[in-house]
Chain A
Amino acid sequence: MFGLRKSDSVLLLIVIALTVFAPFILNPFPENSVMAQFNAGYPDLMQRLVIFGIFAIGFNILFGLTGYLSFGHAAFLGVGSYAGVWMIKLLTLNVIPAIVVSVIVAGAFSLLVGWISLRRSGIYFSILTLAFAQMSYALAYSVLTPITGGETGLQPKVADPRILDAALEEGVTPRANLFGMFMNDSYEMVVGGWIFTFNVGYYIAAICMVFAFYLSIRIFRSPFGLMLRAVKSNQQRLNYTGIESKPYTLAAFVISGMYAGLAGGLLVAMDTQAGAERMFWTASGEVVLMTILGGAGTLIGPVLGAGFIKYFENIVSKINANILETWFSFMPDGISDLFVGLIYPFIGKGWHLTLGILFMLVVIFLPGGLVQGGQKIAGMFKNKKDGSDSATSSASAAPAE
């Protein structure tokens, strides 16, 4: 299907199904139940899940295939965001120019950064990209304030030119739209105790993610993708085979920069603002964590990693001491206080501690990330099946890769 081999088509269909039905899948608990705080089916979070999915898919094209660990990819997301907001301010509140220009500007910036950083490899490459990102961050905060809005960030104002739009009425706040459909418009479906939210912005971001995912499958399976894996495997041999690796790594760098730009443009489309903190080094580190946590070099891994981190970031950081107390209220006073005291450092603002521990566990026990975990579980089921009818299944279970 779509020029993909069978196993990849299945993977793509699974991703499409997951994104389409996400409002149901992420809202498994009734609205008024105790478990409702574990629901993730609200627009803001769902948008972030798919947008950071795009960011991680793009990062994986560089890191997963070529092994070049960029530590400054948030810069491209940030630059894309600023470009997007400017399109909204100057041209129109329609999100299409914002998204397209974000991708182009981020691509151009990554061409410059990549061209310089790729003169080195390994840790030096990582440091160069980190330096570029931190420079961008510092510049956005200081001398570039007229362009970036500095500390207050950049957002559309009523007085912006918006040369393609009709003037807004007095007192109306500018809202991003796609041909009249506002990004923050939602349709709510009430079924029994459940409320499912279908948000315009989410579905636009989801379409972009499915397309981005499809493109990454094509890149993985192409001769270009093969060359990138060859770069990771043995750059020396590639050179002695008459192939200069730089054009390939630079192309991968720019492609992943454009993915970051797309993510930045979509973030702007959803909340029409951009700030320098998007380019801070922790933001670059986050996408590295997402990719490794999910499984670097695998197709679905980065999407899983992005979903995992963004979900737990939102859910765990929302839990506060009061909620903890209600959980343990069935216990005698002293013991419940003890449990609350023990768990408290891991929730709310302490969520990074939880993330750090989860990340360590994954890296130590599942070096291949969540994808490897999934494969292990699938392998266990397969073995059980093999026990009952080994002759038939082993013959048919040709490795799909």
Chain B
Amino acid sequence: MGILEVQNVNKSFGGLKALTNVNLNVEEGMIHAIIGPNGAGKSTLLNCFVGRLIPDTGAVTFDGQSLLGKKPHEINQTGVSRVFQTPEIFSDLTVLENVMIPCFAKRDGSYSLNAIKAVGNEKDILEKAEQMLVDVNMADKRDMVASSMSRGDKRRLEMAMCLSQDPKLLLLDEPTAGMARADTNNTIDLLAEIQEKRHITMVVIEHDMHVVFSLAQKISVLAQGTVIVEDLPEKIKGHPKVQEAYLGGAH
């Protein structure tokens, strides 16, 4: 039994079939990569996990609960956090404030409407957020406005925001896209370290094979809306079906 189970998920947009009978089984504590050519349906699949899209048919179960029909915030409360392809951060706020907000978010969905206490007096939240920034090597950018940072830093900030919620499952949509080589390697190290220390299950969508083969413990290959292979990394590399999907084998 995996922590995230996807069974026979179908999704079409008008006449276009984006996902066809997708099955996926993500085991707890693993880094599971989803690869595939452009337009294979990787992001669509991820959107079905977080409530942005609702599958036409099929089941998505996380930790024993169905995620279908849940709203994005309810899904997050079950322990699923997502890093987006284009960083979704609070661009007008400072880096520290960006990380403080997920620290305020309660798992049970209770609301803190405290309008009188000053943010600066929330000692535990402040400490937690600052520690998180140290963990991702961003302590020096603490008071910068988020929108003024580089793309790589924004993505790192988004990762810090997700991690500060102690998620059980972290979904990463191309976490190194647009990053310089050095930043990419830093991100690989960071993710490996997180997985080692916190045993967070991760699902990574990635184009960069260097990243995929450095991190993934299991790989699913998606092509034309369906999973063609699911296997260990070393077996994926030479798999004929995979090569066909990527190189456009003869039909």
Binding site for B on A (CB under 8 A): 3-5, 218-219, 221-227, 229-230, 232-234, 236-244, 247-248, 251, 255
Partner of A242, one of B90, B105, B112: B105
On whether the beta carbons of B114 and A223 are closer than 8 Å, the reply is yes
Could you tell me the distance in whole angstroms from the C-beta of A114 to the nearest C-beta in chain B? 14
Instruction: Decide: A241 and B165 in contact? CB cutoff 8 A.
Output: yes
- Which of B50, B112, B120 is A224 in contact with, Cβ under 8 Å? B112
Q: Which of B94-102, B188-196, B205-213 contacts A (4 or more CB under 8 A)?
A: B94-102
Where chain A touches its partner, the secondary structure class is helix
CB contacts (< 8 Å) of A3 on chain B: these are 118
Hey, which chain B residues are within 8 Å of A233, CB to CB?
A: 90-93
Q: How far is the CB of B89 from chain A (nearest CB, A)?
A: 6
- Pick the interface stretch among B71-79, B177-185, B240-248: B71-79
> What distance in Å separates the Cβ of A41 from its nearest Cβ neighbour in chain B?
35
Apart from A221-B118, A243-B73, A251-B113, what 4 extra A-B contacts exist at CB < 8 Å?
A218-B115, A239-B73, A241-B105, A244-B109
> Could you say which residues of chain B place their CB within 8 Å of the CB of A219?
115-116
Interface size class of B (residues with CB under 8 A): 35 or more
Measuring CB to CB, which residues of chain B are less than 8 angstroms from any residue of chain A? 50, 71-73, 76-77, 81-82, 88-93, 97, 100-102, 104-107, 109, 111-120, 122, 125, 161, 165
**Cβ 8 A contact of B120, one of A5, A236, A238, A255:** A5
A299 to chain B, nearest CB (A): 14
Quick one: closest A residue to B82, CB to CB? A240
Contact (Cβ within 8 A) A241 B118: no
Q: Which residue of B lies closest to A8 (CB)?
A: B118
Q: A226-B97, A239-B73 are in contact. Are A218 and B116 (CB under 8 A)?
A: yes
Could you jot down 30 A-B contacts, CB within 8 Å?
A5-B120, A218-B116, A218-B118, A221-B119, A222-B115, A223-B117, A223-B125, A224-B112, A224-B113, A225-B115, A226-B97, A226-B100, A226-B101, A227-B112, A229-B90, A229-B92, A229-B93, A230-B90, A233-B90, A238-B90, A238-B101, A239-B71, A241-B81, A242-B76, A242-B77, A242-B106, A242-B107, A242-B165, A243-B105, A244-B73
Q: Which residues of A contact B104 (CB under 8 A)?
A: 223, 226-227, 243
